[in-house]
Amino acid sequence: MNTDELWKTVQGDLQVELSAGKFSSFISQTKLAKVEENENRVLASLAATSNFHRKWIVDHCEKQIKDAFERATRKHCELQFILTTPDSKPSLPLSSYGPLFSAEEDSKVSYRRSAAAAHLRPDFTFEQFAVSSTNEMAYAAAQAVSRNPGQAYHLLFLFGGVGVGKTHLMQGIGHRILEADPQTKVMYRSSEEFTNEIVEAIQYKTTAEFRKRYRSVKALMLDDIQFIGGKDKVQEEFFHTFNAIHQEGGQIVLTSDKFPSEILGLEARLKSRFEGGLTIDIQQPSFELRAAIVLIKAKAWGIDVPMDAAQLIAGNIESTRFLEGVLKRLLAETQIHGNTITLEVAEKVVKSFKTNMLEGNNQIQALTKASPNSVISAVCEVFGIKPAEIKGERRQKDLIIPRHLAMYILKTEAQLPLVSIGRIFGGRDHSTVIHATDKITAELASNAHLRGALDEVRKRMV
């Protein structure tokens, strides 16, 4: 079967398995550039038209493509991706395996398989992690653990709020361990997945297999360990798993949104073990760190985001998870509309993203649901003015910024309609509120004093 015939067979298989939209938009635009094979294995080079195209395929249907090739060739298949354009020849591979089936290739393939088996995200590596004063201690500890698992610190406990990088650091440890030795048994799970596996093991009488699988690992990483609080059977199993791994010199890494002693329903013996490890608090990322994260992720995704646009995004979006959402929107802008990312494009995307989150995204736990009175009171406390002044007609310079900031918070975070906000501020027109929101959105990119005031206001809102 030649290359064209093989690709037609694979495409026919995928056309049945995938939706019509996915197939026509992505698979039909992909070319099979090259196939190398020996008696047992196949290496297929697929040509994508852009970084966005390549990343979408890797994220959404790489496994289906690989399986389709294996069905067509009856051999084990590995994929690599190259970039091409409709009028050009394929470029060099984005990740080359070197000579077909060389020792270097085998090592890379083995590492990729081990990382996938451990449930590690490909992009959650140390190389993709931005470091600043808010997380440098956690980063240094993670590096130490990854170099000497089970030796430097038998338990690393990372805690902090949503989107501070706990999961990224944890998985970075797993990647580094597997890069050094792909045969090392590494396992990453969320605590919810751990709990579900215990329930299934009890239900289907497979607890022996469950214990053997978990207690034999060299490095166990559990996310959101606070989830097991109050679950007696789960805590019992984890207690014995913890002891077994520790006794064999293995590594345990845990994350939580709370310090061990603050986790409700956690048994005293587990609290004692958690507090006996290295416990590190990761603070919310600073403005500078958020901007660095934007630039690092943008580079990894193959889009050019200028510094002023990155700063605008960082000034308006606090959660690193939502930073990634904004970048996905920017990717779509470059792919669908062919737009170059500018400050104006970034501002448009940020406003649209925040609006969509407020309208229906249940993940928006980070945004406040504070009342209008609490917002205005907090702004007045920070700026040393009275509520009557901020709501009144006076337009002195010392009142304009706090008034605009209050409008910005009420619109983007408290989710009030424009008309309602205008009514609060002396019956002002909705266009005034829009102007105020746009002005604060833009100034947060470069005005450190304003960012500090916004952070202080958020702390005081109840």
Q: pLDDT tens digits for 412-432?
A: 877 788 888 888 888 888 888
* More confident site: 359 or 319: 319
Same domain for 87 and 171: no
Give percent above pLDDT 90 in the chain: 28
In a domain, 102, yes or no: no
Residue 405 has pLDDT above 60, yes or no: yes
Per-residue confidence (pLDDT) for residue 368, from 0 to 100: 44
Which tokens belong to 229? 């609080």
Per-residue model confidence as pLDDT tens digits over 88-105 = 444 444 444 445 555 555
Q: Sign of the C-alpha dihedral, residues 360, 364, 370, 375?
A: negative
Q: Is the pLDDT of residue 342 over 50?
A: yes
Q: pLDDT at position 358, please? A: 55
What is the structure's pLDDT at 172?
95
Is the domain of 183 the same as that of 324?
no
Residues 158 and 253 in one domain: yes
Q: How confident is the model at residue 138 (pLDDT cuts 50, 70, 90)?
A: very high
Residues 15 and 57: their CA atoms lie apart, in Å, by 14
* φ and ψ at residue 283, rounded to 5 degrees: -80, 165
What is the rounded average pLDDT of the residues 39-56?
81
Query: Is 105 inside any structural domain?
Result: no
Residue 171 lies in a domain: yes
Query: Is pLDDT of 438 > 50?
Result: yes
Number of independent structural domains in the chain: 4
Residue 40 sits in the same domain as residue 176: no
- Among 311, 336, 360, the domain-final residue is 360
Closest CA to 433 of 415, 448, 451, 411: 411
Choose the final residue of a domain: 311, 339, 360: 360
Task: Tell me whether residue 167 is in a domain.
Answer: yes
Examine residue 447 and state whether it is found in any structural domain, yes or no.
Answer: yes
Tell me how far CA of residue 185 lies from CA of 10, 225, 286, 399, in angstroms.
33, 21, 35, 61
Higher pLDDT, 406 or 361: 406
Give me the pLDDT at residue 75, please: 85
18 Cβ contact partners less than 8 Å away, ≥ 6 residues apart: 27, 61, 64
pLDDT digits (tens, 9 = 90+) for 189-200: 999 999 999 988
- Least confident span in 73-87, 268-282, 394-408: 73-87
Candidate ranges 42-51, 171-180, 362-371, 376-385; pick with highest mean pLDDT: 171-180
Q: Give the CATH number for residue 304.
A: 1.10.8
Asked if pLDDT for residue 151 goes beyond 50, the answer is yes
Residue 395 sits in a domain of what CATH number? 1.10.1750.10
- Domain termination residue (choose one: 232, 253, 282): 282
What's the token pair of residue 292? Answer: 């660095």
d(CA 266, CA 263): 6
Most confident of 29-33, 334-338, 353-357: 29-33
Residue 74 domain-assigned (yes or no):
yes
Judge if 135 and 259 occupy the same domain.
yes
Mean pLDDT to the nearest integer, 74-85: 80
Instruction: For residue 161, give every residue at least 6 positions away whose Cβ sits within 8 Å of its Cβ, in sequence order, or none.
Output: 257, 284
Which of 42-46, 94-98, 453-457 has the weakest average pLDDT?
94-98
pLDDT at 462 exceeding the cut of 70:
no
Strand partners, 81: 46
Question: In 3-state terms, what secondary structure has residue 219?
Answer: strand
Domain identity same for 133 and 235: yes
- Report the CATH number that the domain containing residue 32 is assigned in CATH: 3.30.300.180
Mean pLDDT, the chain, rounded, equals 84
Q: Is the pLDDT score of 120 beyond 50?
A: yes
Please tell me the distance from the alpha carbon of residue 413 to that of residue 415, in angstroms, as a whole number.
5
Does residue 164 sit in the same domain as residue 293?
no
Q: Provide the token pair at 202.
A: 């009890």
CATH code, domain carrying 180: 3.40.50.300
Same domain, 189 and 237: yes
pLDDT at site 175: 95
- Domain membership of residue 431 (yes or no) is yes
**Residue 2: which pLDDT band, with cuts at 50, 70 and 90?**
confident
Distance CA 387, CA 163 (A): 33
Q: How many CA atoms lie within 13 A of 374 on its CB side?
A: 11
pLDDT higher than threshold 70 for residue 306: yes
pTM of model > 0.85? no
The residue segments making up the domain with residue 444 are 372-460
- 214-248 pLDDT, tens digit each: 999 999 999 999 999 999 999 999 999 999 999 99
Q: Has residue 109 got a pLDDT over 70?
A: yes
Backbone dihedral region of 6: left (phi > 0), alpha (psi from -120 to 50 degrees) or beta? alpha
Phi-psi region of 415 (alpha: psi -120 to 50; beta: other; left: phi over 0): left
Q: Residue 340 above 70 pLDDT?
A: yes
Same domain for 218 and 157:
yes
Lowest mean pLDDT among 50-64, 261-275, 312-326, 364-378: 364-378
113 lies in some domain: no
Residue 272 and residue 139 share a domain = yes
**140 and 267 together in one domain:** yes
Q: Is residue 297 located within the same domain as residue 258?
A: no
- Residues 29 and 49: their CA atoms lie apart, in Å, by 7
